Amino acid sequence: MSSQLILDRIRHDKRVWAYRVMRDSDQLPFYRVMNSVNAPTVPVEGRECVMLGSNNYLGMADHPKVRESAMAALRKYGTTVTGSRLLNGTIDLHIELEAELAAWHGTKNALLFTTGYQANLGAISALVGVGDTVIVDSAAHASIYDAARLSRAKIRAFRHNNAAQLDERLSRSVGAKLVIVDGLYSMEGDLAPLDAIADVCEKHDAALMVDEAHSVGVLGERRTGAAELYGVEKRIDVRMGSLSKGLGSTGGFVCGNRDIVDALRAHARTFLFTTAAVPATLGAALASVRMLQTDEGRERGTRTLANATYLRDGLVAAGIPTVDPSPLPDGTEVVSPIVPAFCYTELRVSNTWRKLYDEGVFAAVAMFPAVPQNKAMLRLCVQTEHTHSQLDRAIDALTRHLPPMDFQETDATNYAA
């Protein structure tokens, strides 16, 4: 490295240092090498684990029909399209999948991106710019914050799920206003109160974008996501989703009207200047999107949500702090497939993670900056095919290794994302 300054910075970087210490003592909960990823139990570094760290909520990523459709696309079109959508990279599968996504969401148009991260980055930076304001929930995904920065609009955060503070922020905003929230929050597993948020946006003539990365395929009668659960689909200007979680593929998309999608085709840099989604991912997504609209697909969602309630009830009975169910306008409540076990401190989350791992339970660790300081958690995700006895193993291990602690949860909204 020729720049001493860069080298010095790396050597004194706290995050790099912590990573090295944990890696060298084999305590690192990250970058573990999976020998298989998606099933309810998987081998990790030689030990069979109950997999509670995968976003394969519906079991689509290893569903035989989805695999077969991916392989058929690979055989027909080859490994990659070797170009951007703009030039040589558009194949008929892109068009077919976009039409399927738009029809499913009841929108005029849809546009595919190579990843969900790129969908947010491209869409947000294409729709607003200098002189405008982006107002974002404090717990929204990192890609939304990155996108807002790239747009060069003013960025304002509002307290998580607090429509009153959003109202206040909007009354002080300038230029075109774009409000962005997650439909289902990726770490704590709670939903945005989309009815209240849509009311405030309409009051201030602000556009509303909802990131349904974790909710598409899982929530709502037609399984299009949180907006459908709240009955506000028609009040949302931009609906973003990921193909990489419940849908068992890789990629991202934006559903919206013709003006929005045409603007993205013209301006979204992460759409224009990158190689388009590869055929196998398109084949996989087409099969899962179609299956999720059948009784078989909907039934998978129902089983996933039942597993989520089972896991959450078990944690609550064991006195382990977890998320509250999200209330819906009709008075019912939802427990999403993301069920956190709050550990609060980084030391406690790492220790608990290691003990669970030694007993064959794999959970994902979330700590700052993915979540606020002092809100470290084990992020547990259920799948359709998890059995009660597998979930019981996790509850039992957590009961023994994560005893209740006398800790006042801080009101941290301190996301670095």
> Which residues of this chain interact with ligand PMP, rule CB under 6 A?
115-117, 120, 141, 143, 182, 186, 211, 213-214, 242, 244, 252
Shorter beta-carbon distance to ligand PMP: residue 104 or 117: 117
Q: Tell me the two tokens of residue 409.
A: 């949860």
- Min dist CB 2 to ligand PMP, Å, is 33
Instruction: Please name the residue that has the structure tokens 């087409």.
Output: 286
Shorter beta-carbon distance to ligand PMP: residue 247 or 398: 247
Give me the half-sphere count of Cα atoms (radius 13 Å) on the Cβ side of residue 298. 8
Among 47, 61, 32, 49, CA closest to 390: 49
8 Å CB contact between 216 and 242:
yes
8 Å CB contact between 297 and 104:
no
Shorter beta-carbon distance to ligand PMP: residue 187 or 398: 187
Shorter beta-carbon distance to ligand PMP: residue 41 or 143: 143
- Min dist CB 211 to ligand PMP, Å, is 5
Alpha helices, DSSP H, located in 78-173:
92-105, 116-127, 142-151, 163-171
CA dist 42 and 49 (Å) reads 5
Shorter beta-carbon distance to ligand PMP: residue 118 or 165: 118
Q: Tell me the two tokens of residue 314.
A: 């078990």
Nearest residue relative to ligand PMP (C-beta): 116
Shorter beta-carbon distance to ligand PMP: residue 215 or 390: 215
- Min dist CB 388 to ligand PMP, Å, is 27
CA dist 200 and 115 (Å) reads 30
Sheet holding 364-366, edge to edge: 338-344, 376-381, 364-366
- In angstroms, the Cα distances linking 293 to 93, 227, 253 are 19, 17, 18
10 Å CB burial of residue 278 (0-12, 13-18, 19+) is buried
Secondary structure of residue 375 in the 3-state scheme: coil
Shorter beta-carbon distance to ligand PMP: residue 196 or 364: 364
Q: Tell me the two tokens of residue 81.
A: 């399209």
Maximal C-alpha separation, the chain:
62
Shorter beta-carbon distance to ligand PMP: residue 255 or 402: 255
- Min dist CB 243 to ligand PMP, Å, is 7
